[in-house]
Amino acid sequence: MPFITADDGAEIFYKDWGIGGSPVILSHGWPLNSDAWDAGTRFLAEHGHRAIAHDRRGHGRSSQTWNGNEMDTYADDLACLIDTLDLHDLTLVGHSTGGGEIVHYLGRHGSSRVSRLVLVAAVPPLMLRTDDNPQGLPIEVFDEIRAGEAADRSQLYRNLADGPFFGHNRTQDVGQGFRDAFWLQSMACGHRAAYECIAAFSATDFRPDLDKVDVPTLVIHGDDDQIVPFGVGGKRAAEMIGGAVLKVYEGSGHALPDTNRDRLHADLLEFIDA
């Protein structure tokens, strides 16, 4: 299996599919891994692109490091992957926490290798409610997730899969296979990594990173997202990024790469090929 070695020696697993074409990196959400993007990776590879997806450190097949489970290191690991593969004219696509990772990469490493950015139900600009971010969610929301992760992580993931992640508790009738895959990927994430990543996706302030985005950007968000509410995430991110294109999936929840697969793939391809 292909791995790159991060600066601290961590092994980062990645998939590299397709022959030729401009490269696309797809970054997954918490607490999943690159398998979450398999359908999108295959679709883009079959439509002429080099499609790459990696397991964030602590997740999936990558090293379960004790330290480094925060956004600075995630972004630097992504930079290591991009530099090692010597990618240029790159499209970065991030779902949920992955949206934070790719935006933070731009904030720390610039856009010299990047041509386009796509945020899908992504966590920027800032999920946590603070004095200067009253639109955010109260810390008790994330404390409850932390408590579930610490006490019975397997049950937490079952509850998320059967409820708000897919919107299965509302309008979305999501098959058991999708929900089982979510649980399986989540259980492959390291316990410490999953716990610490809750702070990484909720409390990292991506607003300074969004100010530095200088490439064409597509923001896609469901207006019934129970994990990253539209008014907390996509709506505000699109307002902060100059010239960003916002596509709202009416009635859709958080797990767009699964629940809205065909529409999302078409929108990605149209934007990347434009």
pLDDT tens-digit readout, 103-137: 999 999 999 999 999 999 999 999 999 999 999 99
Quickly count: other Cβ atoms within 10 Å of residue 243's Cβ.
Answer: 10
Locate 175 and state its tokens: 């098959």
Class of domain 3-273: alpha beta
Q: How deeply is 208 buried, as exposed, middle or buried, from its count of CB atoms within 10 A (0-12, 13-18, 19+)? A: exposed
d(CA 213, CA 238): 11
User: What pTM, to 2 d.p., does this model score?
Assistant: 0.97
Q: Which pLDDT score, from 0 to 100, does residue 20 have?
A: 83
Q: Which of helix, strand or coil describes residue 218?
A: strand
Could you tell me the residue ranges of all domains in the chain? 3-273
Tens of pLDDT, residues 164-191: 999 999 866 889 999 999 999 999 999 9
Work out the average pLDDT over 94-111: 98
Contact of 172 with 259, CB cutoff 8 Å: yes
Q: Which pLDDT score, from 0 to 100, does residue 193 have?
A: 98
d(CA 28, CA 26): 7
| Active-site residue set | 96, 225, 254
Element (H, E) at 260: none
Mean of pLDDT over the chain: 97
Work out the average pLDDT over 189-216: 98
